[in-house]
Chain A
Amino acid sequence: MHRLLKFFLIVLGAYVLLKLPGLFFGIPVPSSLVLLYLFFVAVVTLLVMTSTEASARSLFAPIVAIVEDPALVRRRNAIFAVLPVLAALVAYQVVLPDNEANIGFRAVHPAPPALMEAYGKSFDLTTLENPLRPVESTDPVRFARLVKEGGDIYYSNCLFCHGAKLDGRGHYAHALDPRPLTFQGVDTIAQLQESYVFWRIVKGGPGLPKQSGPWASSMPVWEAELSEEEVWKVILFIYDYTGNRPREWSR
């Protein structure tokens, strides 16, 4: 195989390799990193290929031939016509306006306050527990009914953003930034105490603390819509549906 071709194949291969996680696992390597990675792969490949005299000469031979060989005049003209067009295309892509939001750093789970005022009383979030949780062990039949009621509340209120499967892919989800959180998996509600979830539901986006970075969360303040008991029931439901256990108090 020719060296120059090999060079392009190596760089292309690296590019494909870096794109695979995004395509197959939905976990893209950030484009800013891809750019940098590829740059250094290309540079080092060039260095290796020019480290001996023979290899360097054969690497550049086709380029030299294209520029100097009179027999290749057609190919030369074609290449010199295509290259500027390619450059123009790339430039066009770069300056094309898009609707990407500005880049910002944010914490997904900001720290809750110690005390919360809601429903005309004060909740101590450092010790608060779900009053309906004990039912799970004392009266399984009633617990199942509570979960069912929580499900009804969920599907008439939360579904539109958090999705029918509680995976954060509701009807409106794709228009929102930050995206509604999924409850599936082990790294969202499974990491949180029920009191934290209670706080997030009751106070919503506007209740987020200011030290937690730039927020534009569209989570409503459910205090106005749902009763205290309804919120606790929803919490029972989302843990039950996703098979997660709330985090216990350890501190």
Chain B
Amino acid sequence: MGSSVNHSYSLLYNKRERVAFGGLWSSPASGALSLVLLLLTVLLFGLLTLPSAAYAVSSDGTSDTAASVTATAVTGDEGAKLKVPPTSFEAYEAQRASKKGRKKKGPPAPVLEAKDYPEVEGISPRVTVWLAAQMHLWFAAFVLAVPIFVLILEAIGMLTGDRRYDRTAYEFIRVSITAYSITAITGGLLLLSLIVFYPAVMGYMSSVFSSSMLGYGLLFFVESITLYIYYYGWGVMNDGGGLKRLHLLIGLLLNISGTALMFIANAWVTFMMSPAGVDKFGALKGGVFAAINNHLWHPMNLHRFVANIAYGGSIVGAYAAYKYLSSRTEASRAHYDWMGYTASFIAIGALLPIPFAGYWLTAEIYSYSQQMGITLMGGVFGWLFIVQAVLIGALFLAANYYLWCGMGRTEGGARYTRYIKYIAVVLVLSFLVWFTPHNLVLTATETSALGGQYHPWLKSLGLMPAKNTAVNIMVIFTYISFLLYRRAGKASTAPWAKQATAVEVGLFGAAIANILFLGVYYGYYTDNVYKVVSSVPQVLTTLVVIVGSLIIEWAIFRRSNTVGGFKWGRMPDRSQYALVLIAVSFTWLMGLMGFVRSAIRQNWHVYSIMKDASAEAYTPSIAYAARVVSVGTIIFMALIIFIFWLSSLGKRDEIEG
């Protein structure tokens, strides 16, 4: 295998590839395009930041009653006169014009009317912006994620000397170059559609964030330059020594600037959900950092950062799956099998902490606004979490299936296949609990048979303690699948291996018992306070058992023989569809959850500060959102396939040949 891989490896850097058709995109041409877009962006923001006519619309906006009705604050029994802040927009404007109001830095948010929203016949502004934003987000997530693990792969490759890592890393950075251009294009589209359809909103947002928008442009510039050096310098700097280290450093810089870019964009989005640093009317009180560092900024940063890595991994996994299926040589099958495994390992590894990052984000949403939190979890979007549960369940099942099939890579796997069905039974049971809703969809006959909306037995499965218990058990059993997979090709030589395995089984048993006890006892036999608190020890138990068993496994297999001849590339074709499923489900899930995050603002552009007065200010139903997300997913997938096709044009035969 080694020789053929090395052969193709050297071919990767030949000249033919650089001037091939793919060069139209992955070439200085796209760099120039990105720069033009960047300049356009900066220019447009510059124009918008000027105190412009965008605010004139508000002066005749409010009704006559506003000025005439006035009030003293009466609370309790004493009718004492209190100093009150301005109550109407006009009064506020008047106050700003006076001396006292001058210390405010930014203009207030305009009060909008239907006429502030330009109409274009036959085009829905919301859907346009929605799709543009979603498309930009998917590409951005991909483009940010790929350099992260390209860097990791490159570093591993340098440390271990295994050239497969370096080769895979290079293969991906090339793809991400093309994706980078498309990210810039979709970003431009998003900006354009926002300016065309929501000029007043953009005017207000840029008045608050003008300086951060310039920083965004600058970082974009840094990211572009480092990306091009990183990509084009790969072959030249690949000397295995000092130059390679410099190359890694550039990669690090690329990742830092990319992540910083995302953080800045996150600040704009979270400001719209949990505005900070502005007064009641939306005028910036002090520095822009107060607005950036709003309540949801850090939870969102963490959530998106982790999710990006998982997402990048899943897309790469799907790519490897496709290449695996179309491979015609043993060497190429082995390579893409290995790549698919590594990518899905990264994807699932990063997927596991996402629910916890999600909990943090949701908790912060609750603490910022109870109303927003309840709209999210119990109100209009309560059912959305059933859809999410089904998708996450599908991800877990696909991951398990991939591991089960992976046991076939070695003859030794046959020793463990009989355990699969028990794992599956537990997974199914947890999965059923995981998506059983509290408020059921019942027919009239069922309602009268049950005597109410809640099922006497199933109702307890709809509550949070049951879900937490189920998800922890699902994680543990997925992890057991992974352990069995790792054991498949090994046989320990340690004489105490049996006893150690027994200890490990005991550890798992105790952990599962503990999780069940915590969930059932604290969830249903104590009062409200402990219900939520019990989820923390549950997660801790899961972590302890994962770490504990890893240590034991390491000890057992420190000295071991390989069994049955482990071989990459010996995977059934159907297992590869699990990788495709992970990528598609992930994309769709991101689209859906992004919709919810945005939709819980309901009819606000900037929550509690700037109201949406357009004809599309209503909250669409889950069904409608799902359709838009599906259309978006299909467009995105088509584009991704196009990119991969482009990047493969230049090197059609190198691995096959």
Contact = CB atoms under 8 A, between A and B. Distances in A.
Is A bound to B?
yes
A189 to B, nearest CB: 13
Max chain B Cβ within 10 angstroms of own Cβ: one of A27, A30, A43, A45? A30
Contacts of B421: 48
Contact of A108 (B444, B449, B452, B572): B452
Given A53-B572, A105-B439, A37 B432 contact: yes
B443 A40 contact: no
Contact of B449 (A26, A101, A177): A26
B448 A52 contact: no
Nearest to B421: A48
Contacts of A28: 446, 449-450
B627 interface: no
A89 interface: no
A41 interface: yes
Nearest to B443: A100
A178 B444 CA distance: 9
Interface in B381-407: 390, 393, 397, 400-401, 404-405, 407
B449 A103 contact: no
Interface in A18-44: 21-22, 26-33, 36-37, 40-41, 43-44
A133 interface: no
Contacts of B414: 52
B75 interface: no
A120 B414 CA distance: 84
A43 B432 CA distance: 13
A30 B408 contact: no
Contact of A33 (B400, B436, B452): B436
Contacts of B404: 47-48, 51-52
B387 to A, nearest CB: 11
A148 interface: no
A106 interface: yes
B441 A32 contact: yes
Given A48-B420, A103-B442, A36 B450 contact: no
Nearest to A174: B448
Interface of A is mostly: loop
Contacts of B450: 27-28
Interface in A162-200: 177-179, 182, 187
A47 B451 contact: no
Given A26-B449, A40-B432, A44-B424, A56 B444 contact: no
A187 B456 CA distance: 11
A139 B400 CA distance: 72
A27 to B, nearest CB: 6
Interface in B411-467: 414, 417, 420-421, 424, 427-428, 431-432, 435-436, 439-453, 455-458
B440 A30 contact: yes
A44 B417 CA distance: 15
B574 interface: yes
Interface string B134-149: 0000000000000000
Contact of A40 (B431, B448, B572): B431
B397 A36 contact: no
Contacts of A56: 572, 574
A181 B452 CA distance: 10
Contacts of A22: 449
A27 B457 CA distance: 9
Nearest to B454: A108
A52 B453 CA distance: 44
A50 interface: yes
Max chain B Cβ within 10 angstroms of own Cβ: one of A48, A50, A106, A108? A48
B441 A30 contact: yes
B165 to A, nearest CB: 29
Contacts of B436: 33
A58 B393 CA distance: 27
A48 B421 CA distance: 6
Contacts of A48: 404, 420-421, 424
A33 B572 contact: no
Nearest to B572: A53
B457 A21 contact: yes
B453 A106 contact: yes
Interface in B238-262: none
B427 A44 contact: yes
Contacts of A29: 455, 458
A27 B441 contact: no
A30 B446 contact: yes
Contacts of A187: 451
A40 B428 contact: yes
The 4 closest A-B pairs by CB, nearest first: A51-B404, A101-B444, A32-B441, A179-B448
Given A27-B456, A30-B440, 4 more contacts: A28-B450, A51-B401, A51-B420, A52-B407
Interface of A: 21-22, 26-33, 36-37, 40-41, 43-45, 47-48, 50-53, 56, 100-103, 105-108, 177-179, 182, 187
24 contacts: A22-B449, A27-B455, A27-B456, A30-B441, A32-B441, A33-B440, A36-B435, A40-B428, A44-B397, A44-B427, A51-B404, A51-B417, A51-B420, A52-B407, A52-B408, A52-B417, A100-B445, A102-B444, A103-B442, A103-B444, A107-B453, A177-B448, A178-B448, A182-B451
